[in-house]
Amino acid sequence: MATLPKKAGLFTHGDNDTGPIGALHYIEDVRPDVEVYNDQGLIFANRLFPARSSRRQKDQAIESFVMGTIRPVCFIQKPPQQWAPRSFGLFHLIEKGAPDPRSKRLSPTPEVVDWCARVERRENLSDPWLSQHRMGLLESCSRLLSPLVHLSQNQDQAKYAPLLDRVTSHFPGKLVLIDELIHSKDAKLLWTWSEEAMELVDEDVSQETLARLHYLRGHLLMRMNRKPEAEESFARSVSVYPNRKENGAILNLLELYAGRGDRASYREIKRTYFLDALPEQVRERLGQLDQLVKTRAARL
């Protein structure tokens, strides 16, 4: 909270940030100049939309707020894609005037770097909530440090490398390292990191994050032209976390089945996961795949 811009509007997301930030702000009166919102319309009375709103309605409401306010707007989670973020590690500041919304500026402060070092050093936490919270914080640290060390031209980037090495010695940090650099680094190097991540899996790793690792490994295998193994990795991801809205491996499996004309497997996946209302982008992609699988199957 101390590092937020003056009079900022801050969007929290999950339990790990909404609870502590809400308690500090609304009960302890920390940073009364800041307005705290939840990006899912939960908990706080100043919600911008009902909690049961559709994803599209929520996105529209948040966009209207961002464009209409004079407050600096910050997000704990990654902000909507139409805006360029400036990452401070603990939060992302929207830069509405940035010419390229895909750009991402990194602004590590000494306070945040020191905080990451302290988070990494905390071990042997007996409380499950504290352990889960620490994993989320390690993700945030890796999301700041990974591109800073491997992609930026920051003259001080080398001094952050030892801290990144320590952060990525834990599963959450290693996973985010791969995720952040998957389109920028050599596939074989990324695959080595993914193998190291597999060795770090323990009982504290959630099904969702384990599925994310299998999903990323599937993409790396596709880049290395190892399609059968990629299919196995996508299928493993789906079996671990069969959530159609959050697991892109399901759509990847459909693309593989359509590409080789496997109508039986294609129909089974589609029947299992895509019966209810779909976002327009997914609907269009499924329409393309429907036509592809018919064409390929007819040639067999």
Quickly list DSSP for 183-199.
TTS-HHHHHHHHHHHHH
Residue for token pair 């080789």: 260
Which helix H or strand E contains 202, and what residues bound it? none
Q: Which of 131-135, 225-229, 290-294 has the highest mean pLDDT?
A: 225-229
Instruction: Give how far Cα 249 sits from Cα of 42, 104, 253, 274, Å.
Output: 28, 26, 6, 13
DSSP-derived letter for residue 251 is H
Specify whether the CB–CB gap between 77 and 57 falls below 8 A.
Answer: no
CA atoms within 13 A on the CB side of 15: 5
pLDDT at 299 over 60: yes
pLDDT at 207 over 70: yes
Q: What pLDDT does 100 receive?
A: 62
pLDDT band at 101 (very low <50, low <70, confident <90, very high): low
The mean pLDDT value for 237-251 works out to: 89
The mean pLDDT value for 217-240 works out to: 96
Q: What pLDDT does 70 receive?
A: 94
pLDDT band at 253 (very low <50, low <70, confident <90, very high): very high
Q: How far apart are CA 209 and CA 197, in angstroms?
A: 11
% of the chain with per-residue pLDDT over 70: 95
The domain segmentation of the chain, as residue ranges, is 9-106, 108-204, 206-300
pLDDT at 106 over 70: yes
Structure tokens at 22: 């809400």
CATH 1.25.40 corresponds to the domain 206-300? yes
Structure tokens at 5: 């811009």
pLDDT band at 157 (very low <50, low <70, confident <90, very high): confident
Q: What pLDDT does 99 receive?
A: 55
If you average pLDDT over every residue of the chain, what do you get? 89
Q: What pLDDT does 27 receive?
A: 94
The mean pLDDT value for 53-70 works out to: 91
Q: What pLDDT does 110 receive?
A: 87
The mean pLDDT value for 214-240 works out to: 96
Specify whether the CB–CB gap between 116 and 167 falls below 8 A.
Answer: yes
Specify whether the CB–CB gap between 46 and 111 falls below 8 A.
Answer: no
pLDDT at 138 over 90: yes
Report field, pTM of the whole predicted structure over 0.85: no
The mean pLDDT value for 195-223 works out to: 95
pLDDT band at 77 (very low <50, low <70, confident <90, very high): confident
Q: How many CB atoms lie within 10 A of CB 14?
A: 14
pLDDT at 154 over 70: no
pLDDT at 279 over 80: no
